[in-house]
Amino acid sequence: MNLRQANLAKIHIAKKALGMDDDIYRALLARVAGVTSAKDLGPRQVSAVLAEFQRLGWQPTSNPRAGRARPKLARSRQAVMSKVEALLAEAGRPWSYADSMAERMFRIARVEWLDDNQLTRLMQALIIDAGRHGRPTR
């Protein structure tokens, strides 16, 4: 999904969350952006419409399971990172979980910023966690 589609989706989610009927929604678009359809919005107009929805009481929420992209690392560290990724997937946890573990264990905000020793220790902690919860570790 590209940025334009994501922003249009946010607009329609906000419309539904606020319980707007079509006439009120189109009046809001005309008042804020001068258009009658969200497909005609430019980037600045999208921001203005989303700001208006927030002013009206809509609170955007993020999906905590959506997570972030897989960290980019050197080839020498890919094997350990693949194991970390597999352990997270098996547990149904996002990358942000590994980031928070890195923060707690080493006071480093992101997994990709760990050195080799720290990354190995984080992987071992995930293996221990998997063993405690009866998940496979291979």
Residue 107, pLDDT score: 93
CA distance 56 to 112: 39
Whole-prediction pTM: 0.52
pLDDT in tens, the chain (138 residues): 677 788 888 899 999 999 999 999 999 999 999 998 988 988 889 889 999 999 999 888 765 555 677 777 778 888 899 999 999 998 888 988 999 999 999 999 999 899 999 999 999 999 999 999 888 877
**Annotated domain spans of the chain:** 3-55, 75-132
Q: Are 118 and 102 in contact (CB under 8 A)?
A: yes
Residue owning tokens 């919860």: 133
